[in-house]
Amino acid sequence: MGSDRDAAGLIRAIFVLCVLVPLPALAWDVELLSVGVRARVGEKRVLGKEQLESFREYDIVAGFRLPWQRYAASGWGAGTRLLASAGILQGADKTALVVSGIPVVAFGSRDGRFTLDMGAGLALVSEHRYEQQDFGGPLQFALTFGAGVPLYRRTGVGYRFLHYSDAGLYGPHTIGVDFHMVELTHRF
């Protein structure tokens, strides 16, 4: 029970941090950095309660540069980005639409070739009740961290951990879901 509260508190704290980080910048210049596809590759539970169902997620993702960034003359530093995705979530013979918007703080090269990022945001799922598992409702908090490296020219490959949870919003008897995903991206 305590670990669920700790996870919920961590999700809320990261979400608030990621929402507030870009606020000091008054300019709202948003630039498309990359587009890509993602697919789930792992089944292991990482946060919260044991998952009762096996889920798969496939989506497309777009990365946008947000206003706040600090890079050294060498081209290495940190900046904020928004990861927006849309895809499908499959489990227990049901298929749901899932869309998300997750602000992240990214560390790495300015051109986005090498990145390490983390953040929290929101996701909407069109189906939240499955055979043995209930997410609680359509609105979910989304927690993520990922890493990306170049593969060939403007194409990159990466790993992403993605966690959906209601963080107790719909009550104590809901269960979120964890994804280990592989990403294939194209940088602009």
Q: What is the CATH number of the domain that holds 121?
A: 2.40.160.20
| Secondary structure (H, E, C), the chain | CHHHHHHHHHHHHHHHHHHHCCCCCCCCCCEEEEEEEEEECCCCCCCCCCCCCCEEEEEEEEEEEEEEEEECCCCEEEEEEEEEEEEEEEECCEEEEEEEEEEEEEEEECCCCCEEEEEEEEEEECCCECCCCECCCCEEEEEEEEEEEEEECCEEEEEEEEEEECCCCCCCCCCCEEEEEEEEEEEC
Domains identified in the chain, total number: 1
Lowest mean pLDDT among 16-30, 74-88, 117-131, 143-157: 16-30
- How many other C-beta atoms are found inside a 10 Å radius of the C-beta of residue 95? 11
For the stretch 60-97, pLDDT in tens is 999 999 989 999 999 999 999 999 999 999 988 899 99
| Predicted local confidence at residue 156, as pLDDT | 96
- Distance separating alpha carbons of residues 92 and 41, to the nearest angstrom: 18
Query: Which among 61, 99, 102, 113 has a CA at the least distance from the CA of 80?
Result: 102
Percent of the chain with pLDDT over 70: 81
Mean pLDDT of the chain: 85
Query: Beta partners for 122?
Result: 101, 141
| Predicted local confidence at residue 26, as pLDDT | 46
| Predicted local confidence at residue 38, as pLDDT | 97
| Predicted local confidence at residue 143, as pLDDT | 95
For the stretch 92-112, pLDDT in tens is 889 999 999 999 999 999 888
Which residue would you say has higher pLDDT here, 3 or 184? 184
| CB distance 119 to 82 below 8 Å | no
Domain range for 102 is 2-187
Report CA 27 to chain centroid distance, whole Å.
24
Asked if the model's pLDDT at residue 27 lies above 60, the reply is: no
| Predicted local confidence at residue 55, as pLDDT | 87
